[in-house]
Amino acid sequence: MIKNFTILTLFLIFVSGCFYNDPVPSDQNVWPVALPSTFEMDEELLLEMDSVISIDPNNGISSVVIIKNGHLVYEKYYHGSDRRTLFELSGVSSSIVNVALGRAIDLGLITSVTDSIYKYLPEYNQIFEDTPLKKNITFEHVMTMKSGLSWSEFSGGFDDLLSDNDKIIQSEDWVEYLLSRPLDAYPGSRFAFNSAIAILISKVIEIQYEDSFSNFLTKEAFRDLNIDHVGIEVLGDNVNTAWGVSMTTLDLAKIGSVYLENGNWFGKPFIDETYVESSKSIQTNIDYSNDFGWMWWRYAEQNMFLSFLAENDIFFAAGTSNERMYIVPHLDLVVAITGTQEGEGFALSAPYVFRGYILGSLR
């Protein structure tokens, strides 16, 4: 009796999560729906996850979508959000810019990742002329965080309490601020994390496309995925593609599915396979815990997180709060999680939800 009740409850939870009483656009029902048990996922553990997230509006999790073996097995929204909500993606925005660049190359707007960004930014020509070595900065250098441009991600130290992130937001022209930073390494030689640097790529795409980056995404880059609502924060004349992209969780999962399938969308080529492979491959060894691709994170072999996986093929996009998208090829798994942008000290972290509940349900 209890078992039957659990199964019935689970069924109602998942069906209500996947379908709403309000009309749902047909382009959102892209995956066949299945119960987690279809793929031997522990449903009781996922029910526990749902309960834990639901009980506290301040726990920091606002949505969870799980795609397993090409099926939508879990879709839940919390604390007043739903499948039409555009969630702020924070640092995941950079991974979206990575996808946009791949599409821009496919469409012929940009020749190659090895191109210098210099030739695409004529408005800032004087900065490059003043420091000719900056002409060697390529798109690949930007994506691997090896531009060589000096950057203080968190603070300037005792003599300067403001980080470059603080200063760029206060500046009139964010592209000019980035390019004007002094070189402290030869382009391509050293990793230095710079969460704002995706702005350089989106600026190039705007110039080449001769329209807004937002229109490029919805009218060109993501059109075949039926992604037609993307929010991008604009501050003054600056388009915040570093931390300011917003998408629905289902649309975020579409991006993950494309990269899981090596650039294909339901069997049809969407983005160059070689570009996707390079994006998700380890391009830079950072430390004992993390590695980095082209604006995608990887786990280093010593990372304890890998004890939950049979092999280290996981790659992911990460924001500063609870925004995450995990892609695990050997499990045929895509997980998109969004979180709150408010407050500190969340009761739940997205990595814990992913590790403890979602990967836990597959053990």
Asked, for residue 226, whether it belongs to a domain, the answer is: yes
Residues 201 and 256 in one domain: no
Question: Is 95 within 8 Å of 85 (Cβ atoms)?
Answer: no
Q: Which residues contact 312 (CB under 8 A, 6 or more apart)?
A: 298, 299, 301, 306
Residues 174 and 293 in one domain: no
- Predicted confidence at residue 344, as pLDDT, reads 54
Q: Global pTM?
A: 0.91
Asked, for residue 159, whether it belongs to a domain, the answer is: yes
Tell me which residue range forms the domain holding 198: 94-209
Residues 191 and 251 in one domain: no
Residues 55 and 144 in one domain: no
Residues 114 and 187 in one domain: yes
| Chain position carrying tokens 């994506």 | 143
- Predicted confidence at residue 158, as pLDDT, reads 58
**Domain end marker among 209, 234, 259:** 209
Asked, for residue 23, whether it belongs to a domain, the answer is: no
**Domain end marker among 150, 185, 209:** 209
Asked, for residue 75, whether it belongs to a domain, the answer is: yes
Residues 218 and 166 in one domain: no
CA distances (Å), origin 178, targets 46, 118, 126, 294: 43, 13, 14, 19
CATH of the domain at 312: 3.40.710.10
Asked, for residue 330, whether it belongs to a domain, the answer is: yes
Local confidence pLDDT in tens for the 363 residues of the chain: 444 434 434 444 444 444 332 444 555 568 999 999 999 999 999 999 999 999 887 788 999 999 999 999 999 999 899 999 999 999 999 999 999 999 999 999 999 999 999 999 999 999 999 999 999 999 999 999 999 999 999 875 556 678 999 999 999 999 999 999 999 999 999 999 999 999 999 999 999 999 999 999 999 999 999 999 999 999 999 999 999 999 999 999 999 999 999 999 999 999 999 999 999 999 999 999 999 999 999 999 999 888 889 999 999 999 988 999 999 999 999 999 998 755 555 568 899 999 999 999 998
- Predicted confidence at residue 3, as pLDDT, reads 43
Residues 282 and 154 in one domain: no
Which of 335, 338, 342, 296 shows the shortest CA–CA distance to 315? 296
Residues 146 and 249 in one domain: no
- Predicted confidence at residue 21, as pLDDT, reads 28
Residues 299 and 353 in one domain: yes
Residues 333 and 227 in one domain: yes
Residues 327 and 224 in one domain: yes
- Predicted confidence at residue 363, as pLDDT, reads 83
Long-range CB contacts (< 8 A, 24+ apart) of 141-144? 141/187, 141/188, 142/117, 142/197, 142/198, 142/200, 142/201, 143/98, 143/101, 143/113, 143/201, 143/279, 143/283, 143/294, 143/295, 144/191, 144/283, 144/284, 144/292, 144/293, 144/294
Asked, for residue 26, whether it belongs to a domain, the answer is: no
Asked, for residue 24, whether it belongs to a domain, the answer is: no
**Domain end marker among 163, 178, 209:** 209
- Predicted confidence at residue 74, as pLDDT, reads 96
Residues 153 and 294 in one domain: no
